[in-house]
Chain A
Amino acid sequence: MEHSSLQRQVAYGKKSLVDQGYLDEQFYELEELEDEASPNFVEEVVTLFFCDSSRLVANIEQALEKCPQDFRRLGSLAHQLKDSTTSIGALRVKNECTRFREYCDEENLQGCQGSFQKVKREHAILKQKLEAYFQLLRQTGPAARATCSGD
C-alpha cells in the first residue's frame, strides 16, 4: 500500500511537472529508455543535465558581465543550453532559452539580461523539483519506477 501510494505520488508528481509545463513528453521518452539494463537512466541523465547546464548558465552569466557585447558567443552558449534542455524535456527552461537566444540575435542586451534571469530562475526551479521527484522515486524502488514509467 504504501508502495502503491508512493507510486501514486510519483506518478502524480511527474504529471504535475508536466502539466505545469516544467517537463514535456520528452521526459516520458527518457523514461522509456530505462530498463533492467539501465534502471536509473533518467536520473543519471537529469543529473548530468544539471551538471552541464549549471556550467553553461554560469558561463552565460559571466559572459553577460564581462563581455556583454559578444552576442555571438552568448547566442552560441544559449544554443547549447537549449540543446540540453530539449533533450531532457525541460520545457520551461527551453522556452526561456529560446527567448534569450532571440535577444542575442537582436543584440538586445537589455532583453538578454532580462531573459537570462528568467532562464536562471527556471533552471533553478526545475532542478529543485526534479530532485524532489527523484527522491520520491528512489523511495518507491525499482518496481515502482517501472510502473511509473509506463505513463
Chain B
Amino acid sequence: MDPNRAAASTASSGRPRDGVGHPPDFPAGLRVLVVDDDPTCLKILDRMLRKCLYDVTTCSRAAVALAMLRERKGAFDLVLSDVYMPDMDGFKLLEHIGLEMDLPVIMMSADDGRDVVMKGVTHGACDYLIKPVRMEALRNIWQHVVRKRRNELKELEHSGSAEENDKQKRALDDGDNASSASEVSWKNVKRRKDGKEEEEEIEEREDPSTLKKPRVVWSVDLHQQFVAAVNQLHVDKAVPKKILELMNVPGLTRENVASHLQKYRLYLRRLNVPQNQARLDTPYTGASEATFHSVGSFDGLDIQSLAVAGQFPPQSLMALNSEPRRITTTGIGLSSVDQIGFNPSAQMANASNIRPAMMQQMSNKQLNFLSGPSSSMESGLLGQSQQPVPSYGNMGLRVSDGASGFFSLPSSQRTSTSFSGGTINANMTNSLVMQMTRQGQQFSLSQQQNRIHINMPQQPQTRGQLPNAIAAEHDSRLSTTMGHQILSNEVSRHGSGRCGSNMNVCTSLPEGYMNASSYGAVSQALYADFSNSCMNESTGSSYPLATGAGATTFTSTGMLQDAFPPVGNVEALGNSTSLKGVDFVPDYDLLSEVHQSKSRDWKLQNINISYQLAQQLGSKQSNIDFGSSLLAHQDPIATIKDESSRNTCIVRKETFSVRTDIEREKGECIAQCNSTILVENSVRVKAEGMSDLSYQGGLFDGNIIQNELMDVVGKKQQEGIGQVDPEFNFDGYSLDDIQGAVQKR
C-alpha cells in the first residue's frame, strides 16, 4: 500500500463534518494504539502521530497491547500494528482485535510483498502501510475510523430511531474530539454493552460517554407507529415520505423510514414465504421483515412461538398457548415481535402476516422486541455489544431476519401455534423468526428493546417460563428470538450490565419470561441487545443470560465474528465474555441473506441468545432456549414444540447458524438444534448439542426462544430447567429437537 496515501486530506483538524457528526477538530484527538517491537519505529511513529494531533499510546509487545485493549475497551479508536513481532504475529493480533474489539487496525511493515499485503487484507486490516511510514500516510488514518463508523451507523440505521439519530448527531457535534465521535459510533454500535453498563434500553444509546451516533433506534413504540402508518397507507403503497408524515416523529428522517421500511418489507416477505404467507396476514410481510425479525423473535415467548411456529407441533404451541404469556413471548416473541416490530399485528403487514395475531400478544412486548432488536440493533447493540456489540446489532438484525420471519410467522403463520398470544407458531417461526429477526431487529427490537431488556434478570422464574414459551415457540425461530430474549433476559438478568441496554431484549425474558411481552421485548432486547450489549446489561439478574451473554460472547467472539453480530452483544451481556458483539454487525448482513435460511439468521441470533441464555440460564433454561432459538432458524427447530422442555434447545441451533456464515450455521444449527434445549422441565440445555453451533451469534436467539420455551415448558415443568448448565453455552441444550430442526438450515 502506498504509505503516502494522498487521498485523504492531510489536515487533521478542521475536517468538515462528514455526516457522522464528527467534531470540528476531528481527527485530532483520535486515540491510536501503536504496537511495534522496534523501539526506533515506535518512537518515530509516536512522534508522527502526535504531530497529527492524535492521542498516541505505544506498546512494544502485542500481548500487552491486547491486554490494554481488553481492559480499556473503548479507549482507543484505531490500532496500528507492525506485522513482524517476536512475541505474536501481527496478523494474529489483528484477528484478535477484530474479533474482540472490532477496532480498525492498520498493519505496517517494511515488507511490501504482495502476499503479505494480501494477508493483511484478508485478515481484516483496514489498511496496510509500507515502512518507512510517512507522515502523510498517518494523517489519513482517521478515515478508517470514520468509515467504520459510518458503516456501523448504516447498519444500525435501519433500525435506528430518529431520535437516536439526532441525539447522536448532536452528540457528535458536541463531541469535541474525533475520537469521541468515532467512539460514539462505535460505542453505540458496538459497545452498547460495554459502554453502557446496564443500559437497559437499547435505545438509550446515548450514553454520555460516547457520542451518540446518529442512529435511529426503532423502539417498539416507534415501530408500532411505523407499522400503523404503513398499514394506513397500505403496505404496498407505503412510501417513506408518507410514512414519515404520518408518523410525525420529530427527528426521524425519510432515510430512516426508508431503510426501516425496506427491512420491514423484507420481513413481511419472509414471513410470507414459509407457510405463513397466508397466515401472516399481517402487513408485515414485506418489508419490514428484516427488521422485525430480530425483534419479534425475541419477544421471548414469541420466539418460541416463532420457533415453534414452524416446527412446533401444535402441541407445543398449545403448550405455549397455555402459557399464553409465555408463548406469546416466545412465540409471540415472534408474533409480538411481529407485532411490535412489525407492527402490531396488522401493521406489520409487511412483515409477517403472522404477526397480527401473534403480535398482539407479543406485540407489545415482543414487538418491542422486534423493534427492540432493531433498535437495539441499532443502538449498537447489534454492533455494539460492547465492542463487538455491533455484531450484535447484526445479530439482532439477523435474528430479526429470522425472527422477523419468526415474528411474522407467529402471527399469521402461526396459525398453528396460536400461542396465546403469539403462537408464533412454528410456522412462522422459521420464516418468521427469520424475518422477525431481521425485521424484528429492526423494528421491534427497537421498540421493545428498550424495554425488553428482557431483563428478566430478576425473575429467574421467568426463565422457567421461557422455556416453556420457548418450547412452544421455539420453533426455531423463536428460539432465536426467544433465545435472544432469553438470553437477553438472562443477560439482563444477570445484569450483565454490559449490555446494559442491550440486553434488555434478552432480559425481558427473565421476567416472567417473556410472557409474551417480555419476551418480545426480550427478544428484541436480545437481539438488539445482543448485538449490542449482549443482552446483558439489562438483566443482570439471574439470568444466565448474562452469562449467556458472556457465553454468547464467546460465541460471538468466535462466532460472532461472522454471523453473530448480535452475539457480540453477548458480551455485553455482562459477561463480557468476549462476545464481541461487534461482530454482529457484519453478520447482520449475513442474516439478511439468511433470511431464507431463516434459521440462519436465527441462528445467529439464536445462538446468541441461546448462548446467552444458555449461559445464563446457567442451568436452566437458557440453555434450552438457546437451543430453541437456534432452532428457530432454520426450522423452527425450536420445535420446542410441545415439549416445552424441548423448546429451548432447538432454538439454539438455529441461531447459531446465523453465524456469519450461515453456511456454518447450517451445520451448526443442526447441531444446535439438537441441543434445543428442550426445555422439558429443565431445559436441559445440554451443552452438547449446541456447542457447535457456531451460531454463536445465533444462539442467542435460540436461547431466547428457548428461554421462552423454557418458560413455556418450564412453566409446566419449571423445574427442569435447572439443568441448563451455564456453561454450556449452548451445548447444554438438550435440544434434541433442535437438531432436527436445525438441520434445515
B123 partner residues in chain A, CB cutoff 8 A:
none
Q: Is A30's beta carbon under 8 Å from chain B?
A: yes
Look across to chain B and name the residue whose beta carbon is closest to the beta carbon of A51. Answer: B39
Q: Which residues of chain B (34-49) have a CB below 8 Å from chain A? A: 37-41, 43-44, 47-48
A30:B44 contact, CB within 8 angstroms? yes
Residues of B within 8 A of A89 (CB): 132
User: Which residues of chain B are within 8 angstroms of A132 by Cβ–Cβ distance?
Assistant: none
Contacts of A83 on B, CB cut-off 8 Å?
A: 38, 41, 82, 84, 109-110, 131
In the complex, which of the residues A29, A32, A49, A83 has the most CB atoms of chain B within 10 Å of its own CB atom? A83
Q: Using Cβ atoms and an 8 Å threshold, which residues of chain A touch B43?
A: 44-45, 48
Q: Shortest distance in angstroms between A57's beta carbon and chain B's nearest beta carbon?
A: 14
Question: What is the chain A residue whose CB lies nearest that of B82?
Answer: A83
Is there a chain B Cβ closer than 8 Å to A149's Cβ?
no
0/1 interface trace, chain A 111-143, chain B, CB 8 Å (1 if under):
000000000000000000000000000000000
Can you list, as one digit per residue, whether each of A17-33 has a CB less than 8 Å from chain B (1) or not (0)?
00000000010011011
Instruction: List the A side residues contacting B47 at CB < 8 Å.
Output: 33, 38, 41, 45
Shortest Cβ distance from B136 into A: residue: A29
Instruction: List the one stretch of A6-14, A64-72, A74-82 in contact with chain B.
Output: A74-82
CA distance A88 to B39 in the complex (A): 11
* A48 neighbours in B (Cβ, 8 Å): 39-40, 43
State whether the Cβ of B238 lies closer than 8 Å to any Cβ in chain A.
Answer: no
A80 to B40, CA, bound (A): 11
- Whether A86 contacts B132 in the complex (CB less than 8 A), given A45-B40, A45-B44, A80-B38, comes out as yes
- CB-nearest residue of chain B to A56: B38
Contacts of A84 in B (CB 8 A): 38, 40-41
Q: What number of B residues sit within 8 Å (CB to CB) of A?
A: 21
Contact call A79/B132, Cβ cutoff below 8 A: no
Find chain B residues with CB under 8 A from A49 CB.
Answer: 40
Q: In this complex, what residue of B is CB-closest to A49?
A: B40
Q: Which residues of B contact A79 (CB under 8 A)?
A: 84, 110-111
Tell whether A52 is near chain B: CB-to-CB under 8 Å: yes
Residues of A within 8 A of B48 (CB): 33
Closest to A33 in B: B47
Docked-complex contact A33 and B38, CB < 8 angstroms: no
When distances are taken between beta carbons in the complex, the residues of chain A under 8 Å from B246 are: none
| B5 at interface by CB-CB < 8 Å | no
Interface residue? A95 (CB, 8 A): no
Residues of chain B within 8 A (CB-CB) of A45 are 40, 43-44, 47
| Chain A proximity of B92: nearest CB distance (Å) | 15
Chain B positions 44-76 with a Cβ under 8 Å from a chain A Cβ: 44, 47-48, 51
Of chain A, the residue at the smallest CB distance from B134 is: A29
How far, in Å, is A98 (CB) from chain B's closest CB? 9
Residues of A within 8 A of B38 (CB): 52, 80, 83-84, 87
Residue of A nearest to B37 (CB): A80
Which residues on the A side are within 8 Å of B133 (C-beta)? 87
Evaluate contact between B44 and A88: CB separation under 8 angstroms: yes
Whether B86 sits at the interface, judged by CB under 8 Å, is: yes
Residues in chain B within 8 A of chain A (CB atoms): 37-41, 43-44, 47-48, 51, 82, 84, 86, 109-111, 131-135
24 A-B pairs within 8 Å (CB atoms) are namely: A26-B132, A29-B132, A33-B44, A33-B47, A33-B48, A33-B135, A45-B40, A52-B39, A53-B40, A76-B84, A80-B38, A83-B41, A83-B109, A83-B110, A83-B131, A84-B38, A84-B40, A86-B110, A86-B131, A86-B132, A87-B40, A87-B132, A88-B40, A88-B44
Closest 8 CB pairs of A and B: A26-B132, A49-B40, A87-B41, A84-B40, A86-B110, A86-B132, A33-B47, A83-B38
